[in-house]
Structure 1
Amino acid sequence: MSRHERITPETAAAEPQAAETPASPPEAPAGRSRKRLVAVATAALLLAVAGWFGYGYWTTGRFLETTDDAYVTADVTLVSSRVQGYVASVEVGSNDHVSAGDVLVRLDDGDYRNALATAESRVASAGETLARIDAQINAATAGVRQAEASLDMARAQQRTADTDFERVRQLAADNVASQAQLDTATEAQDVARAGVASAEAAVASAEAQVAVLRAERAEAEGQRDELRLAAEQAQRDLDLTVLRAASDGIVANMTLEPGDLVAPGARLAALIPDGSLYIEANLKETQLAGVGPGASVEFTLDALPGQTFEGEVASISPATGAVFSLLPADNATGNFTKIVQRVPVRIALPEDALATGQLRAGLSAEIAIDIRTTPQPDATRIAAE
């Protein structure tokens, strides 16, 4: 107020009202304290959450090796034929469950039955040949015995001739026997000796005939064995015209129809054996330090949301996936760019996961391996080795 202004009753009455207006500012500190309380509470909540996650990481998270590059896999058995033929009938369809030994496909077996009958006929003919040779061997053996008897008789005659010759020779020396008698005795001795030689030759010939027949029999027996193997192969080919399931499982990708021509080795269908499912997780090479068979694994499946299962590391591949690729990388040529490699790790599925009946090969999974559960090697055993 200027010194030239005068205080009037109106101005004096207005001044108290003007003095009362600054009473509203005390509300500002209350608003600021409320905001401060909210900020403190938010910071405390964030700190608690950070502490919670930090505690979880420190106590558990840092021991987990995780990846979402994991899929349910199965040991697929490919169904193929080992013989050629036309499809006579298809006994099962895709997605049918079969037991080991169940018939899957039947091929036309007419040609194979004829081949089996021909092979069996040849085996029978070879058996008759062997029977004939056996009879010839028996006859030749009897001839050997006859020749040996003739040899014994010739030797007896020789002994008689030798005795007569000696007697006549002594008589001739004493001038009792004539020269003619000595000549006759000498001739008889020579004839007896020739008879013995002839009988010995007959025995040798008969024995040689037996040996020849036995050699023919061995050859015929070998031919019969070959024919018998051919018959067994014909029977095997006939049996192979019926394609059977190798194990219990589910048939998939059955593409055959009656009348189709099947070539040996061609893929006809696939069989997923029961209980053959497992998870294959592709871990980075930097994650393998503490991973080993027997480690506990928690995993979830995209096909079963909200469910967590616990498995176990079964084995680790001896090489990275790139080694088994169709065209492995050749890092010795051209410019080199380092790429983190991945190693397949097989994880065994628990019974409760298999019991759901919802698992299929190829389903996506997320896994977490607890490296604390990896069995440690026995220090005593290692020291002994």
Structure 2
Amino acid sequence: MTPASQPNPPSATQAEPPAPRPPRGRRIVAGFLVAVCLAAAAGYWVQYRLHKVSTENAYVEGNVVQVTSQVGGVVTAILADNTDMVESGKTLIELNGVDAQLALSAAQAQLARTVRQVRGQFAAAGQDRANVELRSVDLARAQEDLERRTALAASGAISGEELIHARQAVRTAKASLAMASEQLKRNHALVERTSVDSHPDVQAAAAQVRNASIALSRTRIPAPTGGVVTKRSVQVGQRVSAGVPLMSVVPLHHLWVTANLKESQLRDVRLGQAVTLTTDLYGDGVVFHGRVVGQDAGTGSAFALLPAQNATGNWIKVVQRVPVRIALAPAEVAAHPLQIGLSMKVTIDTSVRDGKRLVAADAESENYRTTVFADELARADEVVRRIVEANL
């Protein structure tokens, strides 16, 4: 076959036939689906994003209660270690109490001696009153004798010398009565308007007993609150001084979350708003619930150890973060325990904005109190009472 007889190849510029267009119904359905997706996305954004503030810059916080000694001494026993759960008031550390026991014994002996001395003062005051009465009787007898002798001297029945002796006896009786009265005043001033147990000398000696008794009780260092022991730094045989931290106790039943929000996220954050939280420890399957209870007084950089100094020529704006405190539901924390420092993902529902942005001046503040030292004085008073009653 000659080339002329061969069929011509298709031209490169020849347009291919157009692809068939989908039916009009399919285009309508596709457009409707796109519109539904856009509406769903807009609804999701309005419902779940418009009134939500979220951050992962949030951490669990709590009280780290330091355990310190109120007196110095040598450690003889450590009764709790890191990771131990202790109850409030449990003895954690014992110090050598020999010196405190000797001081208490000396103070007790001094109190007993003082009680007996005060009893002697009361007895002396009673003796002085009896002596005044006796001197009063002597004076009355001497005056009667003088009157009788004066009448007899007028008739010459007695000599003048005897009358002089009667007058001298009256003056002697008066002087004795005056001396007894002054001695009564002196001794009565030591005991008037008081009793043995309320006498100043007894009170001073009792104060020494209380001091010694409390010092001895403080050689046993209790847990100020219940929780988990951590940061133990004390060793047996170590001599510790008053006020030096020996270990810490963390009450894991009272925790909160601090969320560091950007300043642009705080516009709609109010007190009392509901918060949902998750943590990497339990995953998204465990959701904690809380509420906003306050915002810090400044940004994190304002209270840093080295605050930023922006009065320079090369200033770059950095978005600041403000710590927001979030209270957790105690029942949820008890069911799923948390620890200090765990990271949390926080989402605040800002749809309700009728609360205050910052804490009001008349708002209730968080109070912390321990009662493990409340009965120290009561125990010392009981020691004093027993000693006083034994020596009355």
- TM-score normalised by length of structure 2: 0.73
How far, CA to CA, are the matches of 1:117 and 1:369 in structure 2? 62
Q: Which residue of 1 aligns with 2:348?
A: 369
Q: What does 1:266-305 correspond to in 2, within 5 Å?
A: 266-305=244-283
- Deviates further, 50-59 or 95-104: 50-59
Q: Which amino acid aligns with 1:209?
A: Q
- Deviates further, 290-299 or 314-323: 314-323
Determine if contact 1:147/1:203 at 8 Å carries over to the other structure. yes
Structure-2 change in CA distance of 1:318 and 1:42 (3 Å): same
Q: Which amino acid aligns with 2:227?
A: G
Structure 1 residue 54: deviation in Å?
Answer: 3.2
Say whether residues 1:213 and 2:204 are aligned partners: no
Question: After superposition, what is the alpha-carbon deviation per residue over 1:226-281, rounded to whole angstroms, capped at 9, x for unaligned?
Answer: 22112111111111111222222111122333212222111111111141111112
How far, CA to CA, are the matches of 1:161 and 1:341 in structure 2? 113
Q: What does 1:241-320 correspond to in 2, within 5 Å?
A: 241-307=219-285, 308-320=287-299
Determine if contact 2:62/2:254 at 8 Å carries over to the other structure. yes
Residue identity over aligned pairs, in percent, reads 27
Q: Which residue of 2 aligns with 1:381?
A: none
Q: What does 1:1-385 correspond to in 2, within 5 Å?
A: 25-26=16-17, 29-30=19-20, 51-160=39-148, 168=154, 184=160, 188=163, 195-216=169-190, 221-307=199-285, 308-322=287-301, 324-326=303-305, 340-351=319-330, 353-376=332-355
Structure-2 change in CA distance of 1:21 and 1:149 (3 Å): closer
- RMSD between aligned alpha carbons? 4.0
How far, CA to CA, are the matches of 1:181 and 1:19 in structure 2? 189
Question: After superposition, what is the alpha-carbon deviation per residue over 1:108-152, rounded to whole angstroms, capped at 9, x for unaligned?
Answer: 211111111111111112122212222322222221111122233
Structure-2 change in CA distance of 1:53 and 1:200 (3 Å): farther
How far, CA to CA, are the matches of 1:14 and 1:330 in structure 2? 89
Q: Which amino acid aligns with 2:324?
A: V
Determine if contact 1:295/1:313 at 8 Å carries over to the other structure. yes
Determine if contact 1:294/1:374 at 8 Å carries over to the other structure. no
Question: After superposition, what is the alpha-carbon deviation per residue over 1:350-371, rounded to whole angstroms, capped at 9, x for unaligned?
Answer: 2454134441101111212112
Structure-2 change in CA distance of 1:152 and 1:72 (3 Å): same
Structure-2 change in CA distance of 1:200 and 1:63 (3 Å): farther
Structure 1 residue 95: deviation in Å?
Answer: 0.4
Structure 2: tracts of 5 or more residues without a match: 357-392
Q: Which residue of 2 aligns with 1:6?
A: none
SS in 2 for 1:373: coil
Structure 1: tracts of 5 or more residues without a match: 1-8, 169-176, 378-385
Question: After superposition, what is the alpha-carbon deviation per residue over 1:178-217, rounded to whole angstroms, capped at 9, x for unaligned?
Answer: xx679849x83x7656544443433332122122223445
Q: Which amino acid aligns with 2:293?
A: A
Q: Which amino acid aligns with 2:222?
A: R
The structure with the largest alpha-carbon Rg is 1
- TM-score normalised by length of structure 1: 0.75
How far, CA to CA, are the matches of 2:253 and 2:304 in structure 1? 27
How far, CA to CA, are the matches of 1:363 and 1:19 in structure 2? 73
How far, CA to CA, are the matches of 1:234 and 1:92 in structure 2? 27
SS in 1 for 2:351: helix
Structure-2 change in CA distance of 1:51 and 1:142 (3 Å): same
Structure number with higher helix proportion: 1
Structure-2 change in CA distance of 1:339 and 1:224 (3 Å): farther
How far, CA to CA, are the matches of 1:343 and 1:159 in structure 2? 104
SS in 2 for 1:359: coil
SS in 2 for 1:29: coil
Structure 1 residue 82: deviation in Å?
Answer: 0.9
Q: Which amino acid aligns with 1:73?
A: E
How far, CA to CA, are the matches of 2:189 and 2:146 in structure 1? 35
Determine if contact 1:294/1:375 at 8 Å carries over to the other structure. no
